[in-house]
Amino acid sequence: QVQLVESGGGSVQPGGSLRLSCAVSGSGMLLDRYAVGWFRQVPGKEREGVACISTGATSNTHYEDSAKARFTISRDNAKNTVYLEMSNLKPEDTAVYYCRRGLECRPGGQAGPLFGSWGQGTQVTISS
């Protein structure tokens, strides 16, 4: 089954940086044909969108307010991968981060309607 796999999480101190990757496991799915969103979830809270990149034709980017100026979403079509570069990380960024395909990007960094299912995610922990 073709699915998206997240990687790149870890534990860093406040102010640090991480780059998350969202890659296709299997063949037959070209990510540039979809909007791709990054989401995060903290235990006990709803999953929230943080960034979205539109289809490869335009690759416009959209961010949730707290992610603006700190996070950058991008594509590498040759690698069929979407990245989320995060800088100036704060303890409140601690969460499991997921990526997922969608039809389009919506205001606030949300992708939707969503295709496929949630993957395992990658844990990001910001702590001193």
pLDDT tens for each residue of 20-64: 999 999 888 899 999 999 999 999 999 999 999 999 778 899 999
pLDDT of residue 28: 83
pLDDT tens for each residue of 57-89: 788 999 999 999 999 999 999 999 999 999 999
Residue of 39, 58, 6, 62 lying closest to 114 (CA atoms): 39
Buried b (16+ CB within 10 A) or exposed e, 35-63: bbbbbbeeeeeeebbbbbbbbeeebebbb
pLDDT tens for each residue of 106-127: 988 999 999 999 999 999 999 9
pLDDT at 90 over 80: yes
